[in-house]
Amino acid sequence: MSARAELEQATRRLEELSHRIAQAVDRPAAEIEELARQASDLSAAVVEIIPRAIAEAEAEARGDVPRIGDPAPGAFVPDGLSEDEPA
């Protein structure tokens, strides 16, 4: 999975958790603590993923990594000029 996809997924989960924590005021303290612990772990993960996602986008912009849909290195790309291809 790309770092950007990971970031998108983690950010969405973090938003969901924040919403659940906000809604959990009447829940037992242990439950709220558990949600807070999960949010803390996820925040740490998001902090770590963000620079990787940015570096990945920069590498893609420089052309260092293939974009989705680019042909694999060495792959045959029909150009209409090959002898095996109809003109």
Partner 1 sequence: MGEVSRRQARRQAVILLYQRDVTGLPVPELVENALHAGEHADDPFTQALVDGVEADRSVIDRRITECADGWTADRIAPLERNILRVAVYELGTGDVPVPVAIDEAVEMAKKWCAAEAPKFVNGVLGRVARENAEAAA
CB of 39 to partner 1, least distance (A): 9
Residue 33 in 3-state DSSP? Answer: helix
**65 is a site residue for partner 1 (CB under 8 A):** no
- For the chain, the distance separating the N- and C-terminal CA atoms, rounded to the nearest angstrom, is 40
Q: Which residues contact 73 (CB under 8 A, 6 or more apart)?
A: 66
Residue with tokens 């963000």: 50
CB of 71 to partner 1, least distance (A): 21
**57 is a site residue for partner 1 (CB under 8 A):** yes
Q: Which residues bind partner 1 (CB under 8 A)?
A: 11, 14, 43, 46-48, 50-51, 54, 57-58, 61
